[in-house]
Amino acid sequence: MTPGIKYILLATFFFALMNVGVKYLDHIPSHEIVLFRALVTLIMGYILIRKNRLNPWGNNKKYLLLRGLTGTTALVMYFYTLQHMPLASAVTIQFMSPIFTIIISGIFLKERATSVQWLFFLLAFAGVVMVKGFDARVTVPELFIGITAAVFSGLAYNFIRKLKDYDHPLVVVFYFPLVTVPIVGVYTIFHWVTPVGWDWLILIMIGLVVTAAQIFLTKAYHADRASNISIYNYLGIIYAILIGLTFFDETISFLGYAGFALIIIGVGMSNHFRAPVAAQSESVRPLSKSSAQIDKK
């Protein structure tokens, strides 16, 4: 198992925990949850950056800002769908993001997936639909917001991949809240809903698990081609189902178990037909010596 795959598996696990927390706090506006999540990441990110003696402002500010803007847009929209449509449908729509990631990476990064990889990508997505289904109660505007969130997620992942030669993963993660806090914070001030009781702890925990998820996600896209690791996001749906079975007494139909099988087959076979190591080595390079030196100033 490559480092990129290990990182993406950890990221999807922590994102699954985030989904549970956000759904539980359906009485707190989505933008407010995004703000809390960003504040925690801002504090934790800055502490880790100082500990590693890195330059918090980064080297490639253009793509760092674009990563922050696209990530913020995707997160606000996705949290909205989590709270305004059935969880099954919200998660299913968001799992279109790996497909958009591959499409965008082929154009933006010239990292194209093979035809065989696409076949197993679509097989895994079919498994997601079988597991989570689709709810007819979802309105057209909600569907549009969900798809748009998936597109912006794909853009954000590609900007993360682009930054692999310029900035440390911690700096890339730090720019997300650096952009999110001022944008979302102003709106939240005028639309504030005071959390009560356990809400405060859950909000902080969401921030902590997402900070971990973002760090592992960034390391994953720095370590491997988008076409090779994006499909592993689909395993997050299995994490979510297992959490639901364990803690929320949810049940799974026979069709759901069949979907599990398709996801596992799709992910496994896509990994088998991943881009050759030689092709990866050309596009996956560590920070150059000069960039690393600048990053630590």
The CA–CA distances, whole Å, from 268 to 14, 68, 118 equal: 21, 31, 13
Q: Which of 125-139, 156-170, 250-264, 271-285 holds the top average pLDDT?
A: 156-170
pLDDT above 90: residue 155:
yes
Rg of the chain in Å (alpha carbons): 19
Q: With contact defined as beta carbons under 8 Å apart, do 260 and 19 qualify? A: no
Other beta carbons within 10 Å of 285: 10
Q: How many angstroms separate the CA atoms of 221 and 225, rounded?
A: 7
Model confidence at 151: pLDDT above 80: yes
- Residue 198's pLDDT is what? 92
Q: Is the pLDDT of residue 247 over 70?
A: no
Q: What is the pLDDT of residues 31-68, one digit of tens each?
A: 899 999 899 999 999 999 999 999 999 999 999 999 99
Read off the pTM. Answer: 0.74
**What mean pLDDT is reported for the chain?**
80
The whole-number pLDDT of residue 273 equals 62
**pLDDT confidence of residue 1:** 72
Taking the C-alpha atoms of residue 152 and residue 101, their distance in angstroms, rounded to an integer, is: 9
Nearest to 76 by CA among 34, 45, 44: 34
Q: How far is CA 289 from CA 2, 48, 231, 293, in A?
A: 24, 21, 31, 6
What is residue 136's predicted lDDT score, i.e. its pLDDT? 63
pLDDT at 283 exceeding the cut of 50: no
Tens-place pLDDT, residues 190-228? 989 999 999 999 999 999 998 899 899 889 888 887 767
Task: Write the CB contacts of 108 (distance below 8 Å, at least 6 apart in sequence).
Answer: 158, 162
Q: Is 249 a residue whose pLDDT tops 50?
A: yes
CB-CB neighbours of 1 under 10 Å: 7
Q: What is the pLDDT of residues 252-268, one digit of tens each?
A: 667 767 776 776 677 66
Quote the CA–CA distance of 256 and 132 in Å, as a whole number.
7
List the single range of 7-21, 176-190, 210-224, 260-274 with lowest mean pLDDT: 260-274
How many Å apart are CA 153 and CA 161, to the nearest integer? 12
Cβ(43)–Cβ(210) below 8 Å: no
**Which one-letter amino acid corresponds to residue 100?**
F
